Amino acid sequence: MTDADSHPLGEPGAERAGRIAALLAELRRQGIADERVLAALARVPRERFVSPDLARQAWENAALPIGEGQTISQPYVVARMTEALALTGGERVLEIGTGSGYQTAVLAELGATVVSVERHAPLARAAARLLADLGHDVAIHVGDGSLGWPPDAPYDRILVAAAAPRVPAPLLGQLSPDGGRLVLPVGPAADQDLVAVERRGPETVESRIGPVRFVPLIGRAGWPGREDEER
């Protein structure tokens, strides 16, 4: 693409490239050190995962609404959680909370085989269409993410994009005992910690990464909520 070319949403290529470069520089200043993660974020067209009226804000380091009362996470949070997974390529990853599919695409860009669960059927359908259009072969299911997705367990990594009151036992049970790693926010609405749990055989080691704020993980092993979401 030359400087005179335009991105499909109308933004000049040079301007878009500048926005991406500025975001990556900001993420580095905030402590994101894994260049593979940063490169994956740069390759995923975040503007495709938001509504057209928000496309010019897509490369800002901010969460944006995507419908169904949900948001596309701030790029820093996506980078931080992805970095915490310590992916090397080829891992089987369970993602809880597909949302727009942006985090899903980042995981796929890093060579993961991704299974994703979303409780909102309209979001799941839209994400599946977009990810397929971008060439990502991922499995998206509608269901209670707090219960994981047992048919494809165990998983090398599990990432949860919603806050649970505690580490859900079903997710721990689906985590590989051979060094499996689970990253999720834990805590009430206003006071959550991003936590990493590593499983080695029957033992688990939990570490705190830092404060975050996510929507609640609704489900039988999460927070109580409506059970009549559209399917």
Examine residue 168 and state whether it is found in any structural domain, yes or no: yes
Sequence letter at residue 165: P
Domain region containing 74: 13-212
d(CA 118, CA 112): 18
d(CA 23, CA 122): 29
Examine residue 109 and state whether it is found in any structural domain, yes or no: yes
d(CA 201, CA 178): 6
Question: 82 Cβ partners below 8 Å, 6+ apart?
Answer: 34, 37, 40, 103, 106, 107, 110, 159
Among candidate residues 51, 73, 116, 176, the one labeled active-site is 73
73 belongs to the catalytic site: yes
What is the SS3 assignment for 177?
coil
Partners of 210 in beta bridges: 194
Examine residue 108 and state whether it is found in any structural domain, yes or no: yes
For the entire predicted model, the pTM comes to: 0.91
d(CA 56, CA 122): 24
Examine residue 100 and state whether it is found in any structural domain, yes or no: yes
What CATH number is associated with residue 63? 3.40.50.150
Ordered per-residue pLDDT tens for the chain, 231 residues: 333 344 555 566 899 999 999 999 999 999 999 999 999 999 999 999 999 999 999 999 999 999 888 999 999 999 999 999 999 999 999 999 999 999 999 999 999 999 999 999 999 999 999 999 999 999 999 999 999 999 999 999 999 999 999 999 999 999 999 999 999 999 997 889 999 999 999 999 999 999 999 999 999 999 998 543 433
Question: By the 8 A CB rule, do 100 and 50 touch?
Answer: yes
Q: Per the structure block, which two tokens stand in for 223?
A: 């927070």
d(CA 64, CA 127): 15
Examine residue 223 and state whether it is found in any structural domain, yes or no: no
Examine residue 93 and state whether it is found in any structural domain, yes or no: yes
Q: Per the structure block, which two tokens stand in for 121?
A: 């059927």
The dihedrals phi and psi of 131, each to the nearest 5 degrees, come to: -65, -40
Domain count, the chain: 1
